[in-house]
Structure 1
Amino acid sequence: MRRCVVFGVLIIALFCSISQAQTAVITPSKSVKIIDSMSKGLSWLESQTTDKLEISVNILHFLSPPPTSKKAVSLLGCILEEASRRSLMSTTLEYIFRYFDLQKLSPELYELMLKGAYLALKDLYEYGFANTMESLLFYEIYVHYAFLGYIQAKRIEALLNLPPLLSVKFEGIMRKRIDFMAENDGSWYPKDEYGGYVGRNAWALMMLLKLGFTIEELPELKKAVDFLLEHQDGKLGVWGEPEKHVKEPEKSLDCEEDGCSSKAAVEIVDGLGEVMYTAAAVMGLLRNGVSPANERIQRAIDFLLSEQKPDGRWRPIYEDNWPESFKSYFWDPDYLATILALGAFKEYLKASGVDLVELARERGKGNLLELFEPAYSKEQLLLIAQEKLLSVENSLMEKYQFLFEKSFEEYLR
């Protein structure tokens, strides 16, 4: 009897040690490497003097810092300062108001934002979907826009007491896209000759995550997750099929003067965003139940760490697959690639049970603490926001009334 007890204890101890080994997916040295990398990347973003508005909005969208952190409040100030001067779209500012829960600070202005956002959804449906239902040009490439349209339209219709004018239309498109994905082995897109469809699947999974869709809310996404897990480039650890070089554009192609044809645009862009696609895949997969210990996630994290440049940024593509002749054509959002890499690291640390704020404090990374550690109360945030809003509220009211009020009433009629 005693032998059985001892044997049982040994089995339990062995099981526990195995379980601990399975959960210990990240070593302390790798955690430190990631946190140092994140701090360096954030420092590069903070050093940028152009694209400050775009950087501010995308940090909030992809890194989701607490609204009451010092950096988040600072980003809010930057966005409000730029809002009137740069004629900021009502859809973007409406998102910012929701992010910081500022709707009650200016109910009349917020209502105008909602009307402007709804008109933008109308245009999205009419020009992006209704006229291209048989084409890959728009709704295939940007599949998440169907989900965005549905979520946004449904929310705005409820807030403005509108009948389901747009949400029903977007819901129909959304359901068609889900059915296509489910019947197409988990891919939102048909396979193409350019090699970009794998990367676009990674992008779609991440964007749906940002809209609130995961496997828990949409079980069909299990197929999309499995598709990505099966289509990683095993050699580099990336998504986006970098081994398939896209064709170089013709020398006569001039996108600025004549505009790019849809085929030429795909040839230039697809397959060149492996860094961005890989970061997107990591975020989407981790939030949909894939373990950080998964070898594909590990390879992807190692790839992202290796691709950081000496100044702290990430380029959007795998440099060895970037022909010189593309540099004058390719849209080069280094800031977005950098933000996405930081987002992938944040999700990886969280899934691995690492406290980002505590580790940043131990490493003395003040910029990460300013971004991710709450510093103000909700009341203090509202007071700061109210002061910043005063300087732009009247000009925004005038602009939005002129642009949206009449058009919105005409649309409802």
Structure 2
Amino acid sequence: MANIALMGHGVVGSGVAEVLLKNKEAFEGKLGEEVNLKYILDLRDFDVPYKNLFTKDFQTIVQDKSVSVVVEVMGGLKPAYDFVKTCLENGKSVVTSNKELVAAKGAELLRLAREHNVNFLFEASVGGGIPIIRPMHQCLAANEIREVAGILNGTTNFILTKMIREQMAFDEALKLAQSLGYAEKDPTADIEGGDACRKICILASLAYGKHVYPEQVKTEGITKLTSEDVAYAESWGGVIKLIGRAKKLENGKLHIMVSPAFISRESQLAGVDDVFNGILVRGDATGDVVFYGKGAGKLPTASAVVADIIDEIKHKDTIKTLYWEDGSKDYVEQYENYSTPMYIRCSAQNTKTALAQANELFGTVNMLARKNQPENEVAFVTPVLTEKAIAEGIKKLELSGVSVLAQIRILDY
């Protein structure tokens, strides 16, 4: 018999309990042994058919040697980190959907799991119900992964879709997302890029074998985007998406960033709309492989969690392919050294003079136009330059009296 303990009974936790209890016979048929949800840890009281399973004491789980798999769906670092660490040290495999935990402590917890010959699995931490962690460390193991990039946050993608399709202002689209339950009352982690940052850290750590910490990642959100930028993106031939991406450089360091970006309409990511996520993995043998689906939600996330539970019951020993080493302070390349074309929107008394200055500062730029463009507005795309050179050019433009209103990177995915 495989006894399971569940820590947390919020949206995801209740979904996990529902799936485990509803599909119990199917799991047992696949595994050839009984699966028993023995404990649910939560400080609150719930009037549910399985209320007899609840406990408020974490030690009940730790001290029960019959519990082999513990599921952490509480979220945050405190007390999740201490609880997960203790479970691993006591020889219990752990499944989590907690992206904050994996992004901050993944290398340490994977090492602990290996030392105690158990597993630490976290498929649901990136992409909700989209299979991505397992395919990367198993199905794509024969590849050298050149890049990982994707739309990793459904809330921001919903907002941008409304801005693109219905010409909504950012604030209006955010309010709609909140009213539909796609955005939290405090949406900061989504709209400022923090959620996508944690997810790209996990994917990069897995792809390249060394831990990347969120504080090492240049992260920009979508709060400064306007309908004018959306219109210029359309004129250019694409759309704006919030993209998290990571790439191994020739010097051994990593380029990793989260930011809004222009991407071509022909990109496989351009058609990923509403609350859906899309993750592109660029391998040397496979080329581009894209994983698509709902990136959050009670049952999609619960599905990924339960799949990990089944995996841990089947694999009594540590899964060797899921592992990365600790990172280092100098592992991530300074973003200023990376090269990209850049869309820049300006306001100037004399647009012809401003455009001439732009050509002088950046090289030959590609001018853009939009409907109802004001006479004092000019927008263009620079050639490929380092971020440092672009920043210096923008500073000189502003010193000459030109107001730079927006700048957005242009990516090739």
* TM > 0.5 fold call: no
Larger relative contact order (CA 8 Å, sep ≥ 6): 1
Which of the two has greater strand per residue?
2
Instruction: Please identify which structure carries the higher helix content.
Output: 1
